[in-house]
């Protein structure tokens, strides 16, 4: 039974009412056998949602009208972030294969990125496409676990033998002292030259995770999911950071929001902007505080969606991009809103 106005839609500022429908409740749209859903992306052409079960190494397709979930791709090599480019092609981050791939319209798979300066990537996590077709993605070390397709934890600084090394460059791993990949980065891939450039290093921002553009694409927001920072002056501490964007480069790093609520600091994960410039943030934390935080363009929390479990990622979809899809462990929640998503997915 749904109650309206929904008691789990919490208002902290009157402006929140401009993006919330009074009679739209939070809905548990699907719950099933998935282990940890991530990377939701809406296909405008197909009118379906793609999502990744990172631990189950499966991509699923959710049909909202039927509330039906079907297997889209098995094996997915522990895929995480997904997005669609301007031509409607699916782009996916794979933890297990440590690469970013694109599925062409004829079914071919194109490897877009798998190494940088001679070293394998870590575990590409989240990904967005800009108006020029440039691809931006984060490459933290979060996927360096057995259940996400990487070897067991190193022993005495050396990689473990006899496990999931069939899809890894073990020699490169040994050169890095047992680490899953290389230095943490945020990358930009040029759509014409296919040149991969580092726009941010781990010294500047620890544990980069979710990312998205402002509606005018002049600002890139990037989540740090690390508890601390690699350098005293570097970014981290589970904040959301904003950067100015110009000519595929980032500048003017600043804290946009610190994810603190009721004296507790929650962990941000996936993020999306709406057309009004508000930022919708997946929040991981204790029951009663976790769910989705909504910040206005000035970084003020104007409201939140209280959910019974932590949210990993979210996106806007539906025929008018006015339905919010939220991935929470093995569950998909939805909310019809009075705004639209700023990007394609």
Polymer length in residues for the chain? 345
Last residue of a domain, one of 225, 258, 291: 258
Token match 């690390």: residue? 226
- Note whether 140 and 240 are same-domain residues: yes
Contacts of 63 (CB under 8 A, 6+ apart): 48, 69, 70
Tokens of 289: 């505080």
Domain end (from 258, 277, 300): 258
Are 181 and 89 within one domain? yes
Confidence of residue 179 (pLDDT cuts 50, 70, 90): very low
pLDDT band at 196 (very low <50, low <70, confident <90, very high): very high
Tell me the C-alpha distance between 233 and 201, whole Å: 13
Strands 58-63 and 301-306: unpaired
**Is residue 224 domain-shared with residue 94, that is, in the same domain?**
yes
Where among 258, 285, 316 does a domain terminate? Answer: 258
- 263, part of any domain: no
Assign 227 a pLDDT band (cuts: 50, 70, 90): confident
Distance CA 60, CA 139 (A): 23
Residue 112 domain-assigned?
A: yes
Q: Is the pLDDT of residue 155 over 60?
A: no
- pLDDT attached to residue 142: 75
Q: What is the mean pLDDT of residues 313-337?
A: 97
**H helix count then E strand count, the chain:** 1, 29
For residues 122 and 89, membership in a common domain is answered with yes
Contacts for 151-158: CB closer than 8 Å, 24+ residues apart: 151/180, 154/178, 154/179
Q: Specify whether 123 is located in the same domain as 242.
A: yes
Within 10 A of 106 (CB to CB), how many other CB atoms are there? 5
Instruction: Classify residue 158: in a domain, yes or no.
Output: yes
Residue with tokens 């339905």: 323
The three-class DSSP label of residue 218 is coil
Residue 212: which CATH number? 2.120.10.30
Domain membership of residue 292 as a residue range: 1-38+268-345
């Amino acid at each position: 039974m749904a109650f309206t106005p929904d008691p789990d839609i919490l208002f902290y500022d009157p402006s929140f009412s401009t993006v919330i429908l009074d009679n739209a409740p939070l809905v548990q749209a699907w719950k099933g056998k998935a282990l940890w859903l991530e990377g939701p992306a809406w296909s405008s052409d197909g009118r379906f949602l793609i999502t990744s079960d990172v631990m189950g190494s499966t991509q699923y397709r959710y049909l909202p009208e039927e509330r039906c979930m079907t297997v889209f791709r098995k094996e997915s090599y522990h895929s995480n972030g997904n997005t669609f480019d301007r031509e409607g092609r699916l782009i996916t981050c794979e933890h297990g294969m440590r690469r970013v791939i694109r599925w062409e319209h004829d079914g071919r798979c194109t490897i877009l990125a798998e190494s940088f300066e001679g070293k394998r990537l870590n575990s590409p996590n989240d990904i967005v496409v800009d108006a020029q077709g440039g691809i931006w993605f984060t490459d933290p070390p979060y996927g360096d676990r057995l259940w996400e397709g990487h070897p067991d934890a190193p022993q005495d600084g050396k990689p473990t033998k006899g496990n999931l090394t069939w899809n890894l460059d073990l020699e490169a791993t040994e050169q890095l002292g047992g680490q899953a990949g290389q230095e943490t980065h945020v990358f930009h891939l040029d759509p014409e030259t296919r040149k991969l450039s580092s726009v941010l290093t781990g010294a500047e921002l620890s544990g980069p995770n979710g990312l998205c553009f402002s509606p005018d694409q002049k600002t890139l927001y990037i989540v740090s999911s690390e508890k601390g920072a690699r350098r005293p002056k570097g970014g981290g501490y589970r904040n959301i950071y904003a950067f100015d964007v110009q000519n595929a480069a980032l500048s003017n790093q600043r804290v946009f929001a610190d994810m603190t609520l009721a004296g507790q600091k929650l962990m941000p994960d996936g993020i999306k902007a709406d057309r009004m410039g508000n930022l919708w943030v997946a929040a991981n934390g204790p029951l009663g505080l976790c769910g989705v935080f909504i910040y206005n363009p000035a970084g003020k929390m104007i409201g939140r969606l209280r959910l019974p479990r932590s949210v990993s990622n979210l996106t806007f979809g539906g025929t008018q991009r006015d339905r919010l899809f939220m991935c929470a462990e093995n569950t998909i929640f939805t909310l019809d809103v009075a705004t639209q998503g700023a990007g394609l997915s």
